[in-house]
Structure 1
Amino acid sequence: MKHLIACLALIASPLAAQDFSEGSEARSWNLYAEVPAKFDAQVVDVLCTLTGDCPEDCGAGKRQLGLVRSADDVLVLPMKNSQPAFTGAAVELAPFCGQQVTVDGLMIDDPELGANNVYLLQTIKVADADKIKANQWTKVWAKTYPEAKGKGPWFRRDPRIKEIIATEGYLGLGLEVDQAFIADNF
């Protein structure tokens, strides 16, 4: 519980309003309240940071990853990578679990929206290595699900999504509700 309280205090901290735009090369997405943000951080398992439940290697790809910013120890929540879909931040950060990195992207921070330290990750750099683009999610997905190869959006071919639809329907309310909805609307 003490981890949770400490982390919530960090997320809500007035220090979060610092300007991290200097040196950023992030491309705008024209989103409301977006601000370029480049900073040094440690890649962390968010659940571990909040609760102390800390498996090896940040949960082996099964957990949300975060960034604890070096300048002020604020927990930043990366929600997406540089690809168009809102996916990929954890996949991009997983190889850097526990490491110090320099990230560049867009920060969305607007109290009226309830968005605090929401980050759109575009590049990652470790020590003296070249920076890399955060655009690997669809490649990783394709390697994980080679049987889903084909045309069209990935989510229409994803076996996990297809399994859920097969048992819960497109609306997530059950197959009978789906059948009635389709009959009434199509």
Structure 2
Amino acid sequence: MKRFFALALLAATPAAAADFSEGSNAKSWNLYAEAPAFFEAKVVDITCEITGDCAENCGNGTRQIGLLRAADGVLVFPNKNSQSGFQGASVDLLPFCGKQVEVDGLLIEDTDIPGATNIFQVQTIREAGTEEWTKANMWTKAWDAKHPEAKGKGPWFRRDPRVNAHLAETGHFGLGLEKDAELIKELFE
């Protein structure tokens, strides 16, 4: 029954999206179909909401986090935080697992593009009933703490051990090191 209810919530997208811009202080990213959005929601484990397979503390960072919007019961997918990269928002939302929060950010809504609805880029978050906002920018700090051996200059993904191991195996184009060398020679020499 819980699964049916969650799936019904996902499908309950109104024909004309509600306006959640009132009270929003979100900064534009100039993304297609973005709109400022401020709303109250419960921070949830999406897998738990959809399937009933629930883990303690929203999976402790191993599962995608969602926002069950209080105004209409819609499950919103927060796939980006306020940082310039698209690292995701789970690190920022995990401390609020199971709590009612207020979020401010950008909501992507385009009913003409399949799947482009209820996608959220959270910029700030606070527990409902409190005054202090938290900026949603913790991903890189959490990555730095998890990978102290990868300190250095440049963006995190240039230093990430997983990324570098994958590149060492498949090359930058994913075609193998030999093919990479041929393409680099052809393109840049």
How high is the TM-score relative to the length of structure 1?
0.90
Q: 2-side partners of 1:46 and 1:174: how far apart?
A: 36
Cross-structure match for 2:140: 138
The runs of 5 or more residues in structure 2 that have no matched partner are none
Size of the alignment, in residue pairs? 185
Hey, what does 2:159 align to over in structure 1?
157
Asked if residue 120 in structure 1 is aligned to residue 121 in structure 2, the reply is yes
Deviation per CA, 1:29-77: give whole Å up to 9, x if none. 1212111111111111111211122111111111111100011110000
CA distance in 2, matches of 1:44, 1:125: 15
1:20 aligned onto 2:20: yes
The CA RMSD measured in Å over matched residues stands at: 1.9
TM-score (norm 2): 0.89
Distance in 2 separating the partners of 1:63 and 1:141: 16
Deviation at 1:179, TM superposition (A): 3.5
What residue in structure 2 maps to residue 167 of structure 1? Answer: 169
Secondary structure (helix, strand or coil) at the match of 2:78 reads strand
Q: Deviations over 1:132-170 (max 9, x none)?
A: 111111111111111111111111011111121122322
Equivalents in 2 of 1:14, 1:65: separation in Å?
19
Q: Within 5 A, what are the aligned runs for 1:89-108?
A: 89-108=89-108
Change (3 A) 1:2 1:168: farther
Q: Name structure 1 gaps, 5 residues minimum.
A: none
Q: Runs of 4 or more off by more than 4 Å in structure 1?
A: none
Which residue identity does 1:88 align to in structure 2? G
8 Å CA contact 2:6–2:50 kept in 1: the answer is yes
User: Following TM superposition, by how much is the alpha carbon of 1:174 offset from its aligned partner in structure 2, in angstroms?
Assistant: 3.3
The answer to whether the 8 A contact 1:88-1:136 is kept is: no
Kindly state the Cα deviation for residue 181 of structure 1 after the two structures are TM-superposed. Answer: 3.0
Q: Which residue of 1 aligns with 2:149?
A: 147
Overall identity of the aligned pairs, in %: 58
- 1:56-110 per-residue CA deviation (whole Å, 9 max, x = no partner) reads 1111111111100011110000011111101130111011111111001010000
